[in-house]
Chains A and B, each alone.
Chain A
Amino acid sequence: MHERLAQWDFVIAAYAIGVIGTCLMVGWTLVAMRRAEMRRDLVRGSARANSGGTPEA
């Protein structure tokens, strides 16, 4: 049996998976990194305020 398939449909599906997957991974990583660094700075800031404004090591 010879099957004729629309090859471009497969190409577009593969590119969509690769491009969307990569963009989601990069976006999610950057958001998670920014959130973690903001939380650390917040904790540092409150610790500094509690110690009377003296900078901590």
Chain B
Amino acid sequence: MQMRRRSPPLGPCPAAPQVAEHRQPAAGVAGLYWIDNPAPMHGFANPARFLRLARWLTPLLLGSGLLLASGALLWGLLVVPPDRLMGDTVRILFIHVPCVWLGMAGWSTIAISSLVELVWRHPLAAISGRAAAVPGAAFTAMGLATGSIWGRPTWGTWWVWDGRLTSFLILLFLYFGYIALANAAQRDAAAGSGANRVTAIFGIVGAINIPIINRSVVWWNSLHQPPSITMGKSSIDGTFLWPLLFAAVGFSLIFGGVVLARMRMLLADIQAEARLRRKAMA
């Protein structure tokens, strides 16, 4: 089945007519330009074009990610010296930090996809949001588990109900809700119930938890340390920082590969179902 490229539902933006006319972003209205001219993004609205790209990108991302993440974990496990205060438990951070980062990145992907789906009706946006949900939930669960294991020898407890841990647990429940809603929407989509829009709205509303997680250690007293890496600054020594960055990049590549593979799976399911439906009606 070939999915047809749909035109964006929004017409020329009356607030910036000269932008639409000349197809050039004017100063201060770059955002409006992209609402008016989503052409570069819609280039990948054609599933055939997307699949051509995804077929070679999926193994490339997964292979390079697995190699980089394995190397970084071995580096953290065998080469990095014990920390002055944390001792050997500092090695847990090389797996905990990438998991937590990808738990939040997963929901950010869902929120951006949901926005693109609602504003531009991009055919692949809903699929990319749904594809990011399961790996995002998996990394969130692994982040919670590895954080709890790190907390026991470091803080003396497996769990505390503070801002950071509680908001991150809420993120896991949000993922469960999103996955359940997306599955229900998929079943109801044929009936045209508008359930896909409800899923997208839930994806955007749930994004409110991401800045809360990020700022929780600043807003509330917590056993969790304040942010170690901020814009352009790091309080982590280079001995620990480099393997941590390599692990983060490696796991991010794995995440990208898994999302692409799940998008291919969802597209194949949709194409097979559509063909079977047509066959049944003929």
Contact = CB atoms under 8 A, between A and B. Distances in A.
Interface stretch (B92-100, B179-187, B219-227): B92-100
Interface in A1-57: 3, 5, 7-8, 10-11, 13-15, 17-19, 21-22, 25-26, 29-30, 32-33, 36-37, 39-40, 43-44, 47, 50, 57
A19 B261 CA distance: 19
Interface string B109-124: 0000000000000000
Contact of A29 (B91, B152, B262): B262
B57 interface: no
A33 B279 contact: no
B272 A36 contact: yes
A14 B261 contact: no
Contact of B149 (A14, A21, A22, A36): A14
B87 interface: yes
B251 to A, nearest CB: 7
- B interface, size bucket: 35 or more
B145 A17 contact: yes
Interface stretch (B14-22, B188-196, B203-211, B263-271): B263-271
A18 B261 contact: no
A3 B153 CA distance: 9
B73 interface: yes
B142 A18 contact: yes
B258 interface: yes
Interface of A: 3, 5, 7-8, 10-11, 13-15, 17-19, 21-22, 25-26, 29-30, 32-33, 36-37, 39-40, 43-44, 47, 50, 57
7 contacts: A10-B89, A10-B153, A13-B149, A19-B95, A39-B268, A43-B276, A47-B279
Question: Which 7 interchain pairs have the tightest Cβ spacing?
Answer: A18-B95, A36-B268, A7-B88, A33-B265, A40-B268, A40-B272, A14-B92
Given A14-B95, A14-B149, A43-B275, 4 more contacts: A18-B99, A29-B261, A37-B268, A43-B279
